[in-house]
């Protein structure tokens, strides 16, 4: 086979093409992928806790009615489960978080305004859905402790599974009548979001 002697312009064109291909690929490591996935679901943390409180305040038996809320763009988040009954000032909640096509739309992940768009689902079987537990102490003006742990399924810009493992603490306040509410800005959420590739994002959130 003969040697090819291209002109300088030919080599320049080939080099430019190779550079363009390399720069056009948004390759990110697993930790960054986990961070972006979490940011896309960040707002759902507060919604999950809010729905838990709604179920607690509306409960007339140990099993709460399903509490639902729509996502920003499409889909639904639903909280179901059990709450403690009785006159004790300390109550517990053992809940499940379900998502169907949960979509908060494109979410910015950097200061340049670049966005990631992820749609979330959970398992259809409630026993396999993320667990939301809460302990309310010294109701109605005491403290809150809880956790959200479980697997969320991703579609869109990122795919696979994201395992959330967070705990939270906060302060309670009395609402209207017998309502028990969270003091806004008092709930601190910390933990991790881990994707299927082992990427980890450390969660720190105030609600």
Long-range CB contacts (< 8 A, 24+ apart) of 86-90?
89/137, 89/138, 89/139, 89/142, 90/135, 90/136, 90/137, 90/138, 90/139
Which residue range forms the structural domain that includes residue 66?
29-206
Is residue 7 in a domain?
no
Q: Provide mean pLDDT across the span 11-37.
A: 60
- Burial of 153 (C-beta count, 10 Å sphere; 0-12/13-18/19+): middle
The gap between the terminal CA atoms of the chain, to the nearest Å, is: 69
Is residue 173 in a domain?
yes
Is residue 8 in a domain?
no
Is residue 24 in a domain?
no
Question: Average pLDDT, whole number, for the chain?
Answer: 90
Is residue 18 in a domain?
no
- Burial of 124 (C-beta count, 10 Å sphere; 0-12/13-18/19+): exposed
Is residue 23 in a domain?
no
Write the pLDDT tens digit of every residue in 124-146.
999 999 999 999 999 999 999 99
Is residue 53 in a domain?
yes
pLDDT at 27 over 90: no
Write the pLDDT tens digit of every residue in 28-71.
899 999 999 999 999 999 999 999 999 999 999 999 999 999 99
Is residue 2 in a domain?
no
CB 154: neighbour CB atoms within 10 A? 20
Question: What are phi and psi for residue 115, nearest 5 degrees?
Answer: -125, 160
Residue 206, classed as helix, strand or coil, is: strand
When divided into structural domains, the chain yields a total of 1
pTM: 0.86
């Amino acid at each position: 086979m003969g040697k090819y002697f291209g002109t300088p312009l030919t080599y320049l064109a080939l080099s430019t093409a190779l550079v363009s291909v390399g720069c056009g690929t948004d390759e990110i490591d697993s930790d960054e992928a986990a961070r972006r996935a979490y940011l896309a679901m960040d707002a759902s943390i507060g919604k999950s806790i809010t729905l838990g409180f709604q179920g607690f305040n509306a409960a007339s038996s140990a099993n709460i009615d399903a509490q639902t809320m729509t996502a920003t763009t499409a889909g639904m988040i639903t909280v179901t489960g059990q709450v403690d009954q009785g006159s004790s000032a300390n109550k517990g909640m053992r809940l499940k978080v379900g998502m169907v096509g949960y979509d908060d739309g494109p979410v910015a992940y950097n200061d340049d305004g670049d966005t990631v768009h992820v749609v979330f689902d959970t398992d259809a079987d409630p026993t396999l859905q993320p667990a939301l537990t809460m302990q309310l102490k010294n109701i109605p003006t005491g403290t809150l402790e809880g956790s959200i742990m479980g697997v969320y399924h991703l579609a869109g810009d990122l795919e696979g599974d994201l395992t959330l493992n967070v705990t939270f603490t906060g302060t309670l306040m009395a609402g209207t009548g017998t309502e028990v509410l969270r003091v806004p800005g008092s709930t601190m959420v910390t933990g991790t979001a881990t994707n299927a590739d082992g990427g980890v994002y450390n969660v720190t959130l105030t609600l």
